Chain A
Amino acid sequence: MTTPQWLVGNGQIHDLVFWLIGAVGSVFLLLVIIIIVSKAWREYVEEGLRRRRVELEPSFFKYVVGQGPIENYLPRPLARKERVLVEDIFFDLGRIVKGSVRERARDAFEKLGFIEHYLEKLESRRWWTRAEAAEKLGLMGSERATRSLITHMDDQVPEVRVRAARALGTIRTSEALRPLTRALLDPGRWSAIRVAGILIGAGDESVEILLQEFHALPMHAKIAAIDIFGRIRSLKAISLLRELLASPDPDIRARAAFALGSIGDPTSASYLTESLKDKNWAVRAMAAKALGRLKEEESIDALCASLVDPQWWVRANAAEALKNKGTRGVGALLAMLDSKDVYAAQQAVQMLQESGLLDEMISRLASEDGEQRQNALDIMAKLVKLKRTDLLTEMAHTHPESNIRQRLAIILGLRPHPRQTA
C-alpha cells in the first residue's frame, strides 16, 4: 500500500496550498485595509467639507444678495479641492434664495474659473467626465458654454448627448433650443423620455420647433414629440394631432389620441369618436381613454357602443370614460345593465360601484320618494340578475341603516320576505 506524496509529505500540492493561503490571505488583508482606509478617508473628507461649508456659506449668502464681485466677499482664497463645495453651496442657495441668485452665481462661477474648468472637462476622453461637465455647465447656466454643448449633442456616448441636451434646455437661449430636437433622434425610449422632459421644461417654444420639424423626424422621435404635445397641453398642436389620427402607423394614432385627451380640447371629440372604430384595438382604447378626459357629451353613444368592443381594454376605458361624463354618462352606464352583452353589463356594474353611484342607489332604498325607491329597486334587481351581488351582500350585513339592510336582504333572498313570513 503506497500513500501518495501529497497526503503525507511536502510535495507540489503542499506548495500550491501554501501559495494559495498566502495569496488569498494577502487579498483578504488588502480588502480589509481598503475598507478601513476608504471609510476613514471618506469620513475625514466629509467632516472637512462640513467644517469649510460652515465657514464659507455666510460669505456666499452675502455675495448673492449683494452687489460687488465675489472676491470682495471671500474670507480667504479658495483651494482647488473646494470647488465641489462652492458648487453645492451655490446650487443650494439657488433653491433657497430667489431672484437674481442665478445671475450672481453664474458671475461667481465665471470669475472663479469654474466655467473654464468644466469647458476643459467637456473635452475629456472619459465619457462620465464629459457628462458631468455638461451637467454642471447647465446648472451653472453659462451661455458661454452653449456652442460647446451644441457640439456635444453629437457626442458618441448617448449619456453625454442627453446631458448636453439637458444643459441646453436649462440655459435655454434661442440658439440652444433648436439643437434639442436633434436629441430626440437618439434611438431608445429612455433617451426619448429624458429629452422629452427637457423639451417640456422649455414649454411652448419647443412646441413651435417640433411642429416645424415633425414630419422630418424618425418614428420614435415622432412618438416622443406627440407625448410632448400632450404633456405641454399645447393648443397649437391640435390640428397636427387630429391629422395624425389618420396616420398609417397604429402607434402614432394611439398616441395622438392620448395626447388629444391630455390637451382636453372638447372640439376634438368627433375626431376621437371616429377613432373608436379604428381597426387597431390600442387606438380604440386610447381614443376611449381620451374621450373620458374631454368635457363633452356628444361621444356618449359611441362610448356605449364601445362597451361591447371585443377588446377588454377598450371596454374598460369606455366604461371609465362614461363614468367621467356626469349624469348622462352614468345614465348610459345604467342603461348598459340591460345589455345582452354580459361582459359590457358587468363592466358597467364595476364602474357604477367605483363611482360611488351604487352606494347612492342603495341609500335610496330607504327614500320616502316612491319613484326614487322604485328606481333603486329596479337597479338592484338587475344586479341580482347579473349575479353581481358582492357589494350588495356586504351592504346587507354592514349598512348602518337597519331598514336598508333588511331591504337588501330581501332583494338578495337572504331572509324570507315579510309577507311570506306572515
Chain B
Amino acid sequence: MKEFLVQAIVAFNDFVLIYFLSLNAIYLLLFVLSLYEVLKFIKRTFFSDYQQILQSDMTWPISILVPAHNEERNIVETVRSLQLVNYGEFEIIVINDDSTDRTLKNLIEAFDLRRVDRVYKRSLETKPIRGIYGSLTQQHIVVIDKERGGKSDALNAGVNLSRYPLFCSVDADSIIEDNALLRVVKPFMEHPTEMVAVGGIVRIANGCEVHEGRVSKINLPTTWLPILQVIEYLRAFLTGRIGWSVMRSLLIISGAFGLYKKSEVIEVGGYDSESDTEDLELVVRLHENCRRKKMKYRIVFVPDPVCWTEVPATFQTLRRQRNRWHRGLLQSLWRHKGMFLNPRYGIIGMFTFPYFVVFEMFGPFVELTGYVTIPLAWWLGILNTRFLVLFFVLAVLCGVFLSVAAILLEEISFRRYPRWIDLAKLVVFGIMENFFYRQVLSLFKVKAFFDFLRRRRGWGDMKRRGFERRAPA
C-alpha cells in the first residue's frame, strides 16, 4: 500500500510539474499577446475619431438593456448615468424582473413613467410581461415589468422590445463611462459585416466616488477583499481577455457590459435561461453558430470602454458569485462538449476549449490535491522540504508575475490609478493574494464543481452596498 502511495505521489508530482509549466506557458503567451495588442492600441488611440462616430448618421443606433432584480439602491443612478453617455441615437430599456423591493417604483418616480401600450415582435420566448412603462418627456427610456424568469429571460424580453440592430447589456449595479458606447461600437464601424459581439473592460467601483451617475473620483477600495478583486480583474481583462481576443477565441464577454448584433443573438435563440452564466453561454453559442455556418466573424474585446461595477465585499457574497461563475463555466463546457478537440471549430475547439477544460475546470482540483499530497509525502518520508519550498516560491513568483504584468499594462496604457500609493498597494496585494485568497477561490471552485454535478442552480442572494455617493458641494 505504502509502495503504491509513493508511486502515486511521484506520478502526481510529475504531472503537476508538467501541468504547472504548461499553464504558465499559456499565461506567458497571453501576456505577450496582450502586451503587443496594448502597445498597438496605444498607437491607435491617437487616431480614435470618436467625435466622428458621435456625429455620423452612419453610426449604428444602440438599445441599452438593463436587467434589474431588487436593485432599488442603484437603479436610478445607473439609468441617469446611461442617459448621460455620449452617443447619437440610443434607447434605454430597463427590465424589472419581478423585484420585490422599490426598483420599479423608484424608476417610475424618477423618470415620470406611466403604463403604455407598446407593439413589439416576440422573437424570443420569455415569461409574461406585466406591463411596459414609458415617458412622454423621455421617450428613449422604456421599463418592462415582467414575471420572474432570471437575468437571461429579462435580457431576452429586452431584446424583443429593442428597436435597434445592436444591443448593449449593462448590469443594473454598473456605471458606464461617457464615451464607453462610442468606444465599444467602433469595432462594429470598422468591420460591420463580420463583427458579432464586443466586450469592454469592467473595473471595480468599490471605494470610488459617484456623483450624478458618474464615477467622479477613482480610488482603490478601502477593504482588502475588493482590492484583491481589483488585481484579479486587471489580470483577467488586461492579460487574459485581450490575449484571447487576439487569438480570436474570446469565450467570455462580461454580462456587465457587452455589445451584440441583435440578429445574430436572435438566431442562436437569445440568452439561455438554463445557464447560470448567460453571458458566457451566449458567446460560446455565437462562436458555435458562426463556425458552423462557416462565416467570417469576429468577437472581440476592447480595453478602453469602461464599465464600473460593485464587487462583493464579503466572503459569503464572493463565494456565491464565484460558485455561480464556475458552475456556469462547467455547464457551458458540458453543453458544448462537441466542440472539444473538434477541428471544425478551429482554434476554439482545438485550443481554447481544451484550455478551459484542463486548466479552468480541473485546475482547482490539481491545486488542492497538491496541497493534500504535502502532508502525505511527509508521512511517507519522501517529502523534500527544500524542493517544496523552491516549488512554492516558483508558484508564488509566477502568480505575482502575472499580477504585476497586468499592473504594468494598466500603467502604460490607461493609468486609472494615478497615485503612487495605489500603485504600491496593487503590487503588494498582487503578492499577498497568492497566500490565502487564491487557495480560497480554488476551494469555491471545487465546491462549485460538486454543485454542478448535483445540478444546483441559481444566483443566491448577492448583497450590494450601493455606490459611494459624493455629498453635493
Contact = CB atoms under 8 A, between A and B. Distances in A.
A390 B117 contact: yes
Contacts of A192: 58
A39 B407 CA distance: 12
Given A32-B427, A390-B132, A398-B114, 4 more contacts: A21-B390, A193-B58, A346-B117, A388-B117
Interface string A175-193: 0000000000000111011
A344 to B, nearest CB: 10
Given A190-B190, A390-B115, A196 B6 contact: no
A316 B121 CA distance: 11
A318 interface: no
15 contacts: A7-B383, A8-B384, A9-B384, A21-B397, A24-B397, A163-B47, A188-B190, A194-B49, A197-B56, A316-B119, A343-B119, A346-B117, A350-B116, A353-B116, A390-B131
B397 to A, nearest CB: 4
Interface stretch (B290-298, B329-337, B398-406): B398-406
A24 B139 CA distance: 57
Interface string A28-67: 1001101100110000000000000000000000000000
Nearest to A394: B115
Most buried by B among A25, A224, A356: A25
Interface stretch (A12-20, A70-78, A203-211, A326-334): A12-20
Nearest to B131: A390
B394 A230 contact: no
Contacts of B453: none
Interface of B: 2-3, 6, 10, 13, 17, 43, 46-47, 49, 52-53, 55-59, 114-119, 121, 131-132, 134, 136, 139, 163, 186, 189-190, 192, 377, 382-384, 387, 390-391, 393-394, 397-398, 400-401, 404-405, 407-408, 411-412, 420, 423, 427
Contacts of B407: 35
A196 B394 contact: no
Contact of B119 (A13, A28, A346, A394): A346
A262 B57 contact: yes
7 closest Cβ pairs, A-B complex: A394-B115, A388-B117, A390-B115, A190-B190, A197-B52, A24-B397, A31-B404
B46 A3 contact: no
A9 B382 CA distance: 11
Contact of B139 (A347, A354, A359): A354
A330 B393 CA distance: 76
A163 B49 CA distance: 11
A50 B110 CA distance: 44
Contact of B394 (A17, A188, A393, A395): A17
Interface of A: 1, 3-4, 6-9, 13-14, 17-18, 20-21, 24-25, 27-28, 31-32, 34-35, 38-39, 128, 131-132, 135, 159, 163, 188-190, 192-194, 196-197, 224, 227, 230-231, 258, 262, 312, 316, 343, 346-347, 349-350, 353-354, 356, 359, 388-391, 393-395, 398
Given A17-B391, A197-B55, A389-B117, A28 B404 contact: yes
Given A18-B390, A24-B397, A197-B56, A350 B46 contact: no
B6 A35 contact: no
Given A28-B397, A194-B49, A390-B116, A356 B136 contact: yes
Given A27-B401, A196-B58, A20 B423 contact: no
A192 B53 CA distance: 11
A28 B6 contact: no
A126 B313 CA distance: 47
A388 B47 CA distance: 50
Contacts of B46: 128, 131-132, 135
B117 A391 contact: yes
B40 to A, nearest CB: 9
A349 B117 contact: yes
A17 B134 contact: no
A230 B258 CA distance: 31
Contacts of B52: 193-194, 197
Contacts of B383: 7
Contacts of B412: 38
B157 to A, nearest CB: 16
Nearest to B393: A21
B187 to A, nearest CB: 9
* Dominant SS among interface residues on chain A: helix
Contacts of B121: 312
Nearest to B398: A24
Contact of B390 (A17, A31, A230, A258): A17
A307 B472 CA distance: 50
A32 B400 CA distance: 11
Nearest to A189: B192
Given A35-B411, A39-B423, A190-B189, A21 B53 contact: no
Nearest to B52: A197
Contacts of B118: 350
B16 to A, nearest CB: 12
A196 B49 CA distance: 12
Contacts of B390: 14, 17-18, 21
Contacts of A193: 52-53, 56, 58-59, 189
A395 B117 CA distance: 13
B387 A17 contact: yes
Contacts of B13: 7
A394 B130 CA distance: 13
A1 B2 contact: yes
Contacts of B427: 32, 35
Nearest to A262: B57
A340 to B, nearest CB: 16
A3 B384 CA distance: 11
Contacts of A262: 57
A341 to B, nearest CB: 12
Nearest to B189: A190
A240 to B, nearest CB: 18
A13 B391 CA distance: 10
Nearest to B55: A197
Contact of A24 (B47, B401, B423): B401
A291 B393 CA distance: 72
Contacts of A231: 57
Contact of B114 (A1, A224, A391): A391
Contacts of A343: 119
Contact of B3 (A1, A39, A163, A395): A1
A114 to B, nearest CB: 18
Nearest to A20: B394
B115 A391 contact: yes
B401 to A, nearest CB: 5
A274 B100 CA distance: 52
A14 B385 CA distance: 12
Nearest to B404: A31
Nearest to A388: B117
A350 B120 CA distance: 10
Most buried by B among A20, A349, A395: A20
A416 B119 CA distance: 30
A227 B405 contact: no
A36 to B, nearest CB: 8
Contacts of A197: 49, 52, 55-56
Contact of A359 (B59, B136, B387): B136
Contacts of B55: 197
Nearest to B192: A189
A21 B387 CA distance: 12
Contacts of A13: 17, 387
Most buried by A among B52, B132, B408: B52
Contacts of B3: 1
Contacts of B397: 21, 24-25, 28
Most buried by A among B131, B384, B423: B384
A346 B401 CA distance: 61
A8 B405 CA distance: 34
B411 A39 contact: yes
A310 to B, nearest CB: 13
Nearest to B186: A190
